[in-house]
Structure formats: C-alpha cells, structure tokens
Structure 1
C-alpha cells in the first residue's frame, strides 16, 4: 500500500505504482468519498467507457422476486 504526505497547500501525490495500476492520467478527475474517518479517491469514468462493463454478470440472488416491481 502506498503512502502519501499532505503538503502545506493540502495537496497529495498519488504514488507511481498506484497510478500505473489504475491507469490514471494527468488531468483525470477523481471523486472524493468520505465515510467515517476514511477518505477514498474514486476515478471518474466516462459513461462511454462503462458500456458493457456488467456483461456476463451473474444476477441471481441479488433480489427476491417479490421485491421486483
């Protein structure tokens, strides 16, 4: 797991190995999600890139039939 330091301007640098692993590019936007005392940075993905990403997903057991409208 990488480690970052907050600068005097409250900036952080994402470690190279994390940027490589996630395929992050300069200028790419990240969403900041705070839950309790945990901060998560989630890369924004254009809607066009999400097309078909759930293809082949097993949907059995997600909801009971009586929960469906």
Structure 2
C-alpha cells in the first residue's frame, strides 16, 4: 500500500506503480469521490474507449411479476 502526502495546496502525487497499472496519462481527467472515510479517484474514459465493455454480460435476471 502506497502512502502519499497532501501538500499545503491539497495536492497529491499518484505513485508511479499505480499510474502505470491504471495507464494514467498527464492531463487525463479523473473523478473524485468521497466514500465513507476515504477518497477514491476513478479515471474518466472516453465513450469510444468504453464501447463494447459490457459485451457478453448476462442480462437474464429474475424480476417481480409487477416489474415485467
């Protein structure tokens, strides 16, 4: 687990291993979420890059009779 320091301007540096694993590029946008007592960064993907990422997902689910 990597530990980073928050600068006086509230900036952090994402460690090299994490940048490499997530293939982050300089200038790339990330979403920032607060979840309970932590901060999460989620890389924003272009629509073109996201196309087809759900291909093959199982969409058969049981539904209540009033939800058909």
Tell me which residue corresponds to 1:32. Answer: 32
Shift of 1:48: 1.0
Shift of 1:2: 1.7
- Cα distance between partner residues in 1 of 2:15 and 2:59: 36
Say what the alpha-carbon RMSD is for the aligned residues.
1.5
Tell me which residue corresponds to 1:53. Answer: 53
Q: Which runs of 5+ in 1 are unaligned?
A: none
- Cα distance between partner residues in 2 of 1:25 and 1:50: 17
Q: Which runs of 5+ in 2 are unaligned?
A: none
**Dislocated runs of 4+, deviation >6 Å:** none
- Cα distance between partner residues in 2 of 1:30 and 1:18: 13
- Cα distance between partner residues in 2 of 1:3 and 1:33: 18
Provide TM-score, normalisation by structure 1: 0.84
Provide TM-score, normalisation by structure 2: 0.85
How many residues align? The count is: 67
- Cα distance between partner residues in 2 of 1:58 and 1:2: 36
